[in-house]
Amino acid sequence: MTDLSSFAIKICGLSTPETLEAAMAGGADMIGLNFHPKSPRFVTLERAGELAAMARGKTEIVVLIVDWDERRAVELAEALKPDWLQLHGRETPDEVAALRRATGLPVMKALGIAEAADLAAVGAYHSVADRILLDAKPPKDAAFPGGHGRPFDWSLLAGLDPAQRFMLSGGLDPANVAQAIGIARPAGVDVSSGVESAPGVKDPARIAEFIAAARKAAAAGQESSSA
């Protein structure tokens, strides 16, 4: 629904005040709090509340949920008052629309990409979600969704309708984010494991490096497109 008017950088799976501070100091536009219990980045409502209080008014707060019903989503939205709801499960377009209505929050829908055929779903979700996040499909035996630190073939996105703006995730890190932005031309990027020293353990230095590299690449891309 909503086109991204400026490039957005999201640091997801934050769980400590120190790493949240690093994300905000680096200039992250969005921070993600993960409510999926099987993820190493899971945070309790109590911890999320502490982090949200630190972030409120300084960066946009995104809560990540997986296949929740409307009641649970509404309870979380009322308790935490985030800026965004990120749906990272198998939610259908109708379910995305229903969660958006029930919570009153803008919704970011993650879609797993492994091959060109996976892009067919983008159109259906583009009409009901405020933002689309294209992520790498998880391995078949994975315990939780997401890219698991592995990128997909970004050149697949060349066939996507340019009007279907999206954020990019999956296997991004400080070393490859500039290349990813150059190839995929996303409206934003989202990173989690790529700025960690161990699963679920964010590295403040890598967070700063990622944000700086992404910002520089996005600015270079905007300059070349307007030249």
Q: Give all strands (DSSP E) within 178-221, no chain letters.
A: 188-191, 196-198, 201-202
pLDDT score, position 138: 74
> Which of 130, 135, 173, 190 is flagged as catalytic?
135
Helices (H) and strands (E) in the chain, counts: 7, 10
Confirm whether 3 is a catalytic residue. no
| 3-state SS class at 189 | strand
pLDDT score, position 225: 64
| Boundaries of every domain in the chain | 8-226
Report the phi/psi class of residue 57: left, alpha or beta, with left for phi > 0 and alpha for psi in -120 to 50.
Answer: left
Confirm whether 12 is a catalytic residue. yes
> Could you list the mean pLDDT of each consecutive 10-residue stretch along the chain, which spans 227 residues?
70 98 98 95 97 98 98 98 97 98 98 93 94 85 54 90 90 96 95 96 98 96 64
**Per CATH, domain 8-226 is 3.20.20.70:** yes
- CA distances for 77 relative to 43, 97, 104, 183, angstroms: 15, 15, 9, 35
* Amino acid (1-letter code) at residue 201: V
Give the Cβ contact number of residue 222 at 10 Å: 12
> Which of 12, 130, 173, 190 is flagged as catalytic?
12
d(CA 154, CA 179): 9
Residue whose tokens read 């490039």 = 7
- Could you tell me the two tokens for 61? 């707060």
pLDDT score, position 197: 96
| 3-state SS class at 29 | coil
